Amino acid sequence: MTQLTAFSTADLPVGDHVAEWERHNAAQLIGLRCTTLDGSRLDASEITRTLPSVQLGRVQGSAHVVERTSTSVSANPTDAVVIYFALAGSGFFHHTGGAFLVDPGHLVICDADKPFMRGFSGGLTELVVKIPRTVARDLIGRDVVGGPTVLEFGTGSSADLRAAALARAVTRSLDHGVDDDATRESEVLDLIRSVLDTNRRADTAVWAEMEVVVARSAHDPLLSASDIAAAVGVSTRQVSRLFAAHDTSVSAYVLRRRLDRAHRLLSQVTDRRPTIGQVATDCGFSSPAYFSRTFRAAFGVTPTGFRNAASSHLA
Are 80 and 133 a contacting pair, CB within 8 Å? yes
User: Cβ distance 207 to 194 under 8 Å?
Assistant: no
Q: In what order do the strands lie in the sheet with 33-36?
A: 33-36, 64-68, 116-120, 91-95, 98-102
Mean pLDDT of 153-175: 82
What average pLDDT score do residues 92-120 get?
A: 93
Give the model's pLDDT for residue 56: 96
What whole-number distance in Å separates Cα of residue 80 and Cα of residue 311?
65
Distance CA 248, CA 150 (A): 27
Q: pLDDT tens digit string along 258-303?
A: 999 999 888 876 667 788 999 999 999 999 999 999 999 999 999 9
Residue 89's pLDDT is what?
A: 95
Q: Where are the domains of the chain?
A: 4-196, 201-315
| pLDDT (mean) for 36-49 | 91
For residues 183 and 151, which has the higher predicted lDDT (pLDDT)? 151
Return the pLDDT at 14.
92
Query: Considering the domain 201-315, what is its CATH architecture?
Result: Orthogonal Bundle (1.10)
Instruction: State pLDDT tens for residues 172-220.
Output: 989 875 555 555 788 889 889 888 876 555 677 788 888 888 988 988 9
Whether the full predicted model's pTM is greater than 0.85, yes or no, is no
Indicate the pLDDT class of residue 92, thresholds 50, 70 and 90. Answer: very high
Q: Residue 234's pLDDT band (boundaries 50, 70, 90)?
A: confident
- Give the type of residue at 257: R
User: Which of the four CATH numbers 2.50.20.10, 2.60.120.10, 3.90.230.10, 1.10.3720.10 does domain 4-196 have?
Assistant: 2.60.120.10
- Sequence length of the chain is 315
If one compares 119 and 195, the residue with the highest pLDDT of the two is 119
* Identity at 216, one-letter amino acid code: R
